Amino acid sequence: MSAPVRKAVIPAAGFGTRFLPVTKSVAKEMLPIVDKPAIQYVVEEAVAAGIEDILIISARGKDSIADHFDRHIELEVFLEGKGKLAEAREVRALGELADVTVIRQGEALGLGHAVGMARNHVGHEPFVVMLGDDLMHERAGVLRGMIEAYEARDASVVAFMEVARSEISAYGCASATPIDGESRLVRLEGLVEKPPADRAPSNLAVMGRYLFTPEIFDEIAKTQPGAGGEIQLTDAITALIGYQAVYGYTFSDGRYDAGKKLDFVRATIELALERDDLGPGLRDYLRDLVGRDFETGAI
């Protein structure tokens, strides 16, 4: 039987250059989508899939991430004193949401290097890596589906979505073969990081959720800097494929690229629409807004 997946690693050390200027002084992972920082959605996704041991790989200047998942007794007592009991409960629950550990990547050496830093914490166990830029809607059930695939095959699984050819150069890209009788799973043959469109082996793009057997750490340790001069996780996965089956879990819906400004706005609107407290008011506003004449520039 396959060992249970109990740990998640969330790399959150990047500068967030795609989201300047706010990321000059605010951690990208702390940007709010409605009223929660993006990274809270990722931690909640892990917890919903039964994973409560979370290691966040942070960096200098991003201590607000650790603060967010810590208890804040002073605030709890203050809220209780004001009779704001629901808010006090919410703040407390957040401090107890998961068993969160934060370490720092001292130097920006790449995603593969950041994941490699989790080795001591993870030990010899399967684990998931969750990138905060990719927010997955609950209805997509991506992490749960990947865990089921791992349990069935006892092998590493990487999440993929098909993207337009013109977009593939922003992603890790797979060459893969279909598996008889499987609608979502493919067998990976190799990965290449951010290939130019005319050299991409497919339009299957890596989507920021990985489930690894512990052997990935040996491969990361041997990986030399690749695309962009960084130690790439995709290169370590390709090395793993050399001697272990690795599967792709494909899905087509429910993902927001919170690292892209337009998708970030879309996530904010769509997730607010689903909320009981905000949805009705926002729907009325949007109905009114789309009726206006954008051509004149007067909104």
CA distance 147 to 186: 15
CB of 6 to ligand G1P, least distance (A): 24
Cβ neighbours, 10 Å, residue 127: 24
3-state secondary structure of 63: helix
**Of 94 and 131, which CB lies nearer to ligand G1P in the complex structure?**
131
CA distance 153 to 88: 44
**Of 94 and 231, which CB lies nearer to ligand G1P in the complex structure?**
231
Q: Which residue has its beta carbon closest to ligand G1P? A: 172
CB of 83 to ligand G1P, least distance (A): 43
Which helix (H) or strand (E) segment is 122 a member of? helix 119-122
CB of 92 to ligand G1P, least distance (A): 32
Nearest alpha-carbon partner for 63 in 103, 32, 17: 103
Alpha carbon 128 to chain centroid, angstroms: 10
DSSP code at position 7: E
**Of 205 and 267, which CB lies nearer to ligand G1P in the complex structure?**
205
Residues near ligand G1P, by CB under 6 A: 111, 131, 133-134, 171-172, 193, 205-208, 233-234
CB of 111 to ligand G1P, least distance (A): 5
Cβ neighbours, 10 Å, residue 149: 20
CB of 182 to ligand G1P, least distance (A): 22
Q: Please give the C-alpha separations between residue 272 and each of 1, 87, 278, in angstroms, as whole numbers.
A: 41, 19, 6
**Of 188 and 206, which CB lies nearer to ligand G1P in the complex structure?**
206
**Of 91 and 129, which CB lies nearer to ligand G1P in the complex structure?**
129
CB distance 63 to 26 below 8 Å:
no
CB of 208 to ligand G1P, least distance (A): 4
CA distance 136 to 271: 11
CB distance 202 to 191 below 8 Å:
no
